[in-house]
Each structure stands twice: as structure tokens, then as C-alpha cells.
Amino acid sequence: MPSALSPTAMPPTPPSTHHELTERLTALEIKASFAEDLLDKLDHIVIRQQTQINALISEVLHLCQQASEPQAPGQRNLRDELPPHY
């Protein structure tokens, strides 16, 4: 095993320059900005979908209520009538 003083030992890596650190920080800030933008878009999509789900639930409840109401004698129920080809 080479010692820290032997000629085959790896030299220590030089510390990053200020410019390299600034570039890395800028890249991270850009990634964070894109992630935040994507999160906002997804949030708006979820809100829109929840609004659609609520409207559909309301419509289904309304249709269930209509289906359970007794019909007046003059109204025809298309489910009770057979199509002409039968």
C-alpha cells in the first residue's frame, strides 16, 4: 500500500476554483427553477382535474336522482321499447 509520501501516491485534488463553484451553483439554481415551474404546472393540472371530478360527481348524482324518480304515465321509457329490428 503506497504511503502518502511515496511517489506512486495520488496527489491531492486541488480545491475547486471560485468560477467552477459559481458555475455549479448556477446549474443547480437553474434545475431548481425548472423543478419549481414543473411543480406549479402540476399543481394547476391537479386543481383542474379536481374541478372536473367534482362536476362529474354532481352530474352522476343528478342522473341517479332522475333515474330513481317515478315517471309520469304519459312519458315513454326508451328502455322498455324494443328497436324495430327485433
Q: Is residue 37 part of a domain?
A: yes
pLDDT tens-digit readout, 8-63: 666 555 667 988 999 999 999 999 999 999 999 999 999 999 999 999 999 999 99
Q: Is residue 35 part of a domain?
A: yes
DSSP-assigned states of every residue in 14-59: PPPPHHHHHHHHHHHHHHHHHHHHHHHHHHHHHHHHHHHHHHHHHH
Q: Is residue 52 part of a domain?
A: yes
Q: Is residue 28 part of a domain?
A: yes
How much is the pLDDT for 13? Answer: 58
Q: What is the count of structural domains for the chain?
A: 1
Q: Which residues contact 3 (CB under 8 A, 6 or more apart)?
A: 9
Q: Which domain holds residue 27?
A: 19-66
**Separation CA 20–CA 29 (nearest Å):** 14
Please report, for residues 2, 3, 15, 16, 77, the alpha-carbon distance to residue 9 in angstroms, rounded to integers and kept in the order given.
6, 7, 18, 21, 91
